[in-house]
Structure 1
């Protein structure tokens, strides 16, 4: 099958799976309109591509989309969001649209079918993403000046500002010009009132961990804003760079060697593990009922392997919590580790397993008996050289955990092959802990 024909077939498979999901979730009558590029484009009267989905079964769905045929345009004006909900919550969408109109905003309601008043889709620009809007406005009015950023006149997130990532109702990452180096600014819904992120960054720097300087102050943190100077030439996922990967392994061992600031509670870590496993199993069962049995089996096996407490539990250390090649910026052999939002105390194998799982996801055809590939091997070599010690069994188990949690991502990221990709994630996880 040619690449073009394969793409058409995969999109047809995705559309069939999306329609089946919408049919099962009759509580959200507008669901299919925000899962299908063509339907949403027809509804809006312009060409759009859905890039990210946040779906709460039987409650609501919100998607981010990019507009226009030129997908290389990075300004916020090329992004938007669309949301639909259960009929009893349509009033909330109406109130948001009314509030936006009163302030000259661009949120509007669209009814795809005049015969069904309960099918309503709210649409708006990125800067009127409702949960993000307060922090984005504070960034515009106060934060950019504090960060030394210099956006040009007009809409403050339009070019030359580049949108790097947009997760609707959660966070926006943008690259903003400054007098010297560009600044990468992250605006999140969740505020860091206690400036814990700032304290962590200083602590990492004091231990010689290669991280980027934090430009945001406590006032920025209280409005969900963090920032660093733009650095490097991409990240470790962009190609083979053995020296940089080796150094990243050494840096990870140094993080694990720092020790937590406060006493650890293994039972709290296990409770969170149980919560994440249950939530993922529930979502997979909703998205793809045929995978319920293997998801239940995988959940039980992971809890059996990773849920130990007491004298047989692994030592709890400070872990990155979301470690992968795209969290490691590179400039030649130099590295900087980024995105410490999920730092916690846990099993050190968690970070190595996470890295290995993401490498497998990037190259499913190259997956071998153990988790990960060439990059994981180089990372482990640097990790062991710096004094870290881990068993491959634990790394594989945590890789299976990351694979399971990420099994929802093909759907969320609107992958053309999300049904097949989700199935692969779960099968691969089961293989690693067989």
Structure 2
């Protein structure tokens, strides 16, 4: 029997599987424990990665739905109970021992205000293990803007706060990214409103002006309901619309129209912000950050990941005749960014608008379609929806080659390769392996 530590043995198996092209299926708990063993700087790491341990710690049954991990520094997770309001969600955080004082100060401040942050020391044999846990309303960076939403923003948007906790049902939480943003559906007298509250303020209401500009060019987007005062507190809002998004099933007319809409966005004046060098530097930063995290999760895969990173930078970041003139791009385009109501569509979530290669949006869409159906991935990126999207794009005057779509799909696949870990996939090592192998196939 091998005497190698568990983490080293797992990495060796993953590397062998990579080289042989095999789908290995180590379970999430084993992979999480191996990661925690490799990072003793965060002694509480395993407590916030394991559903059963965190449930034991909190004294209730919870399921971890998202993780943000900073190697050797901290881990922050979202957990969920039964239900759909804010009360069904919570967060838990642990840090390296020298930073535990910050958790203690936040818990003390919360206690003084009657808030709900608890600091728990689960291991009597290891007093340096500290885990803080609290509700959405006590998400420290998000708390000021959520409080402003409760006290001022809801009324400005035509909604009245509930008598109890203002985010409890009939309000429903659609998405919660701790210390970043909360998206909730809030009922009003005129219909539901989807409200996003972010940590980052939009002091000059740039998002509101962008939405107005898109509408003026005929782009099918939802109206912005938030005013500049809301934007200054990180709040944006739109009326609830549609019967779901394009990811929910085949809808050829909607996918075709989405392609036409993307072509119209790319045809808008990019303005003075079109800076190819800045775009290249941003792409390099994203690739470097992803490479660093993947190597942390899979130390044995450094060589193939380094090779892939270099090939991606050369393919999507290099200046030259193969790179088209930068245009205004959505920056995070996928089927779930296209709301549908029959053949009618609305494009949403323009938080990452930038100037870049026009194939970037199409490749991003194709990559996410592959991720949604790995078994159906073919020799080129994307599937039926991507084909309809590209047809609509070309009919509306857009120009793109399949090679460029494949290159940008590989880029998106690599960036998303950390998501199985972050989103607590049941076998995140195997899922990450697939992302990277698929990127290599498309970039070959």
TM-score tier, shorter chain, comes to: over 0.9
Contact 2:25 2:430 in 1 (8 A): no
RMSD: 1.1
Aligned pair partner of 1:155 in 165, 169, 174: 165
Question: Which residue pairs with 2:200 in the alignment?
Answer: 190
Q: Structure 1 residues 183-192 or 288-297, which shifts more?
A: 288-297
- Aligned counterparts, 1:77-156, within 5 A: 77-156=87-166
Q: Deviations over 1:19-71 (max 9, x none)?
A: 0100111110000000000110011111000011111111100000002xx3x
Contact 2:26 2:429 in 1 (8 A): no
Contact 2:25 2:429 in 1 (8 A): no
Question: Which residue pairs with 2:316 in the alignment?
Answer: 306
Aligned pair partner of 1:238 in 242, 248, 263: 248
Contact 2:115 2:138 in 1 (8 A): yes
Contact 2:68 2:75 in 1 (8 A): yes
Q: Deviations over 1:245-279 (max 9, x none)?
A: 10000000000001212251100000001100000
Question: Which residue pairs with 1:421 in the alignment?
Answer: 431
Q: Deviations over 1:92-138 (max 9, x none)?
A: 00000000000000101111111211100001011101110011000
Aligned pair partner of 2:181 in 171, 174, 184: 171
TM superposition shift of 1:304: 1.1
Q: Distance in 1 between matches of 2:431 and 2:405?
A: 22
Decide whether aligned partners of structure 1 residues 11 and 113 sit closer, same or farther in structure 2, where only a CA change above 3 A counts. farther
Aligned pair partner of 1:33 in 47, 59, 78: 47
TM superposition shift of 1:291: 2.3
Compute the TM-score of the two structures, normalised by the length of structure 1: 0.96
- Aligned counterparts, 1:387-398, within 5 A: 387-398=397-408
TM superposition shift of 1:149: 1.5
Question: Which residue pairs with 1:65 in the alignment?
Answer: 79
Contact 1:172 1:187 in 2 (8 A): yes
Q: Distance in 2 between matches of 1:318 and 1:417?
A: 37
SS of residue matched to 2:271? coil
Task: Give yes or no for the alignment of 1:46 onto 2:60.
Answer: yes
Aligned pair partner of 2:276 in 256, 266, 289: 266
Question: Which residue pairs with 2:17 in the alignment?
Answer: none
Contact 1:150 1:176 in 2 (8 A): no
Compute the TM-score of the two structures, normalised by the length of structure 2: 0.93
SS of residue matched to 1:150? coil
Q: Deviations over 1:351-400 (max 9, x none)?
A: 00000000000000000000000000000010000000101001000000
Question: Which residue pairs with 1:55 in the alignment?
Answer: 69
Contact 2:48 2:94 in 1 (8 A): yes
Q: Distance in 1 between matches of 2:323 and 2:253?
A: 33
- Aligned counterparts, 1:345-356, within 5 A: 345-356=355-366
Question: Which residue pairs with 1:7 in the alignment?
Answer: none
Task: Give yes or no for the alignment of 1:23 onto 2:29.
Answer: no
Q: Distance in 2 between matches of 1:225 and 1:127?
A: 15
List structure 1 segments (4+ residues) > 6 angstroms apart after TM superposition.
none
Contact 1:356 1:376 in 2 (8 A): yes
Decide whether aligned partners of structure 1 residues 372 and 11 sit closer, same or farther in structure 2, where only a CA change above 3 A counts. closer
Q: Distance in 1 between matches of 2:166 and 2:211?
A: 28
Q: Deviations over 1:308-365 (max 9, x none)?
A: 2256531100000000000000001100000000000000000000000000000000
Question: Which residue pairs with 2:422 in the alignment?
Answer: 412
SS of residue matched to 1:211? coil
Q: Structure 1 residues 46-55 or 304-313, which shifts more?
A: 304-313
Aligned length: 421
Q: Distance in 1 between matches of 2:25 and 2:99?
A: 31
Q: Distance in 2 between matches of 1:42 and 1:392?
A: 51
Q: Distance in 1 between matches of 2:125 and 2:66?
A: 29
Contact 2:290 2:418 in 1 (8 A): yes
Q: Distance in 2 between matches of 1:250 and 1:310?
A: 27
Contact 2:150 2:161 in 1 (8 A): no
SS of residue matched to 1:408? helix
Q: Distance in 1 between matches of 2:441 and 2:38?
A: 30
Decide whether aligned partners of structure 1 residues 187 and 167 sit closer, same or farther in structure 2, where only a CA change above 3 A counts. same
Contact 1:410 1:421 in 2 (8 A): yes
